[in-house]
Amino acid sequence: MRIQYYPETDSLYIDLSSKESTESREISEGVVVDFDAEGNLVGIDIDNASKKLELKKLILNKLPLAEQLLTA
């Protein structure tokens, strides 16, 4: 899983899978979910992220991670 913030567009993308997106659906204003060919959720795109999310804090709690990399 990868979370990327793009300050120039104030958008946040949560990449949940390495599979390619084949379908996208807007589920609320400025929130688009991406699906692979089998209908599995592969990503979430959030426009105007700083107005919709608390971007100053990220808490990871009990995730079964094999690798953890944090950069700012």
Question: Residues 15-65: pLDDT tens digits?
Answer: 999 999 999 999 999 999 999 999 999 999 999 999 999 998 888 788 887
pTM of the predicted model as reported, rounded to 2 decimal places: 0.85
CA distance 68 to 31: 26
pLDDT at 64: 84
Q: β-pairing, 2-6 with 31-35?
A: unpaired
- Split at pLDDT 50, 70, 90, the class of 67 is confident
Helices (H), the chain: 49-52
Look at residue 65 in the predicted model and tell me its pLDDT: 78
Tokens found for residue 7? 């300050």
Domain locations along the chain: 2-52
